[in-house]
């Protein structure tokens, strides 16, 4: 997943179509004197519609499309003929996309299912023709309704990745390595901080052809919730994960302190993240001996599942997947 191709924020100007005007028309036929009004209605303007597309994973296709305009409705005609509706514009977006008002930040739409459609901005209604206004006392109305104007507004589209498990940790905690070993994803891996510049998704195969989705989020540092590092931009992707899997290396000087720091950054960003299921994986276990492992166990956070793993030596990976599946399905591991 190249960093230049992963776009999770766009701001676009949308204009829905105006409705067509109603027609002022009177029936004129040789053998029908006083035919009366027969003006048709105008067609409605085109909608701006968001549609979920499971084949998309980024908003790249909308990055350079700053203006979106739907078609206007056609005016009505005589003979009670209604005008054609304006052409709708459908914007395909990845699952997990949220539409917000750029001024207030208020959420106006959310796409979570493939094929789901939401009218973002409705087209203007078509005006009624003079046929609607005839009455016993007004048998020849010479007026009709104009069409309603469309809406023209800016909207912000944000993508929050949908995943079962989100990997949370400091830079170089082994998140990308774990994802590359458990799935077919190929994130960039190197021995310097902030190797991961964009979120990566991978499908992890489990027993009996089952699977779950894991997301590798760019590393969090202390102060990420205030904008330091890359964390602030990508912390929102963690909001859509069912399980938060904290990764801390066995070589860390103070595992409990690192865990508390990560937890505090999530709490500062969004207190609701504290309600999600949390797990802890101690990574790089191939670098420590049994004696060090016993010392580590005495200083680990309580009341959360802990797995000891090494992505390099494949140690503890099956046990980790068992624990994840158990928490995802509230069932006993196989």
Q: Please enumerate, by residue number, every residue annotated as part of a binding site for GTP.
A: 169-176, 194-198, 216-219, 283-286, 310-312
Token code pair at residue 135? 């009455």
Coil, strand or helix at 321:
helix
- Cα–Cα distances (Å) from 7 to 87, 94, 108, 266, in that order, read 28, 11, 20, 22
Distance, in Å, from the CA atom of 175 to the CA atom of 167, rounded to the nearest integer, reads 6
DSSP state of 311: T
Q: What are phi and psi of 130, to 5 degrees?
A: -70, -10
Binding-site residue set: 169-176, 194-198, 216-219, 283-286, 310-312
SS3 content of the chain, % helix, strand, coil (to 5): 25, 25, 50
Count of beta carbons in the 10 Å neighbourhood of residue 139: 10
Question: Measured between alpha carbons, how far is 202 from 183 in angstroms, rounded to an integer?
Answer: 5
Q: Residue ranges for the binding site for Mg(2+)? A: 176, 196
């Amino acid at each position: 997943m190249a960093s230049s191709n992963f776009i999770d924020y766009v701001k676009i100007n949308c204009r829905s179509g105006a409705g067509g005007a109603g027609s002022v028309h009177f029936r004129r036929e040789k053998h029908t004197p006083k035919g009366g009004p027969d003006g048709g209605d105008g067609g409605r303007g085109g909608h701006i519609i968001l549609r979920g597309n499971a084949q998309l994973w980024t908003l790249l296709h909308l990055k350079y499309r700053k203006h979106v305009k739907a078609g206007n409705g056609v005016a009505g005609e005589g003979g009670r003929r209604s005008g054609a509706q304006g052409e709708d514009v459908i914007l395909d977006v990845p699952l997990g996309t949220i539409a917000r008002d750029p001024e207030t930040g208020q959420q106006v739409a959310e796409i979570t299912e493939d094929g789901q459609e939401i009218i973002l901005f409705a087209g203007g209604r078509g005006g009624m023709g003079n046929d609607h206004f005839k009455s016993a006392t007004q048998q020849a109305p010479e007026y009709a309704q104009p069409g309603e104007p469309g809406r023209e507004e800016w909207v912000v589209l944000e993508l929050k990745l949908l995943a079962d498990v989100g990997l949370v940790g400091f830079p170089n905690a082994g998140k990308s390595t774990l994802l590359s070993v458990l799935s077919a994803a190929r994130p960039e891996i190197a021995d310097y901080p902030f190797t991961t510049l964009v979120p990566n998704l991978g499908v992890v195969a489990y027993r009996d052809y089952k699977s779950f989705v894991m997301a590798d989020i760019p590393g969090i540092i202390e102060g990420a919730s205030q904008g330091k590092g890359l964390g602030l931009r990508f912390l929102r992707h963690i909001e859509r994960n069912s399980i938060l899997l904290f990764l801390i290396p066995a070589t860390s000087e103070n595992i409990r302190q690192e865990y508390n720091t990560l937890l505090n950054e999530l709490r500062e960003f969004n207190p609701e993240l504290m309600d999600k299921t949390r797990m802890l994986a101690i990574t790089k276990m191939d670098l420590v001996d049994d004696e060090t492992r016993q010392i580590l166990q005495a200083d680990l956070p309580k009341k959360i599942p802990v797995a000891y793993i090494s992505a390099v030596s494949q140690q503890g990976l099956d046990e980790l997947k068992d624990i994840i599946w158990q928490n995802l399905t509230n069932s006993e591991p196989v």
